[in-house]
Structures are given as C-alpha cells and as structure tokens.
Structure 1
Amino acid sequence: MQPTLDTVFAALSDPTRRQILTMLLEDDMAVTDVAEPFEMSLAAISKHLVILTRAGLISQEKRGRVKWCKLEPDALRDASVWMQGFGQFEAINLDAFERFLEQELHEDSP
C-alpha cells in the first residue's frame, strides 16, 4: 500500500522524526545508534521508527540480532511534487513589503 501524503506529512511533523531522517541521510543505522543522541527511551524511539516506516520514509531490516534502519528517499517524491506546485509563487520579501505599506500609509495621510 502506497502511503498517503497525509501519512508522510504527519510523520514529518515531528522534529525527532525529521532529525532521524537527517541522520539516516548519511548511512543505514542500527536502531540503538539511532536512539543514542536522543534523551528518550528506546521504546519511544521505536514508536517514532514505526511511524516513519508506515509512512514509507524508512525501511527496517533485521540483520542477525540487530535491527537496521534505512532511508527510503523515493517516499518523499509525491510530497516533493506536491510542494513544487507552490514553487510558481515567489517568496515575499517582507522588508520590501513593509516599506511599501509605510510609503502607502504616508502618501494617504493628510
């Protein structure tokens, strides 16, 4: 079953899960190594890994006694395509917009 965009974005909504994905950009990692930098239990990390796996963002494989996590970059493709649809809009330059509003305000005042 293909994960939905909602599932992918829900998985990405948590900063711990985003940090895990960033760590997995480097290489596959054992679950215990993934958990090491976090101040939470291995069970809590495992829950995050389940969410990432269900979203298709990572895969987990048991090698001997060790469970390994691997980034699945293709899982972000649909989300990336969806977000690129908004790329047609330029980012707003807030400083320039503020100057424009101030200029308009001063021109309209008596």
Structure 2
Amino acid sequence: MRLWPTGLRDGSDPDPRFTLANERTFLAWIRTSLGLVATAAALEAFGGDLLPPWLRTTLVLGLLALAAVLAVGSFVRWVRIETAMRRRASLPLPAAAALLAGGLVIAVVAFAVGLYL
C-alpha cells in the first residue's frame, strides 16, 4: 500500500458501490482513450488517399496525444474522486470531458476541411 497516493490511505473506506462506480467510470475513460488510438491507427492505415499527408499526420498525432492525455487524466481523476470520497469532501469537476469535446471538435473540423480540399 506504500505505492498508493496518500489520499487513498487517508480517511475511511467509502461504500464499495461508490468505489466500484468510480472504477467503472475510469474504465469508460480508458475505453474512450483506446477508441481514439484505434481511430488514429485507422486514419493512418486507410486515410492515405483521403487527406493530404501533412494533415493526416497532424490529425493522427493529435488524436494520439489526446488519447494519452485522456488516459493520464482519467487516472488522476480516479485518484482525486477516491480521495474525496474517503475524506467525505466535494467531488472534483470533470475537466477531461471539456478536453475531449474540444479535441474532437478540432479533429472533426480539420478532417472536414481536409476532405473538402
């Protein structure tokens, strides 16, 4: 248990249902991150004729970066929520949702512009 952050060792154990719900949410964010990786791989493998090479490479790298940030952010959020539940404090706001929405809007607009060109 020494490897876990201090917040996961403080306070009292929350109701297991809440801990498991927090874990399911974390896994959903990880699934979303894996979906972004799969989208980037498909775009690289099959998007050669659809987009100019510079735009395709930019989109692929952007999607991979978004996936990495989302995966790390989901773990940080899981720890922050678990810590808040143990300390009976307010839950943190979901900043990753805004990041994901903004990143996807940028990717979709860039993809549409690339198809139009």
More strand by share: 1
* TM-score using structure 2 length: 0.25
Find the structure with the greater CA-based Rg: 1
Structure with higher helix content: 2
Higher relative contact order (CA 8 A, sep 6+): 2
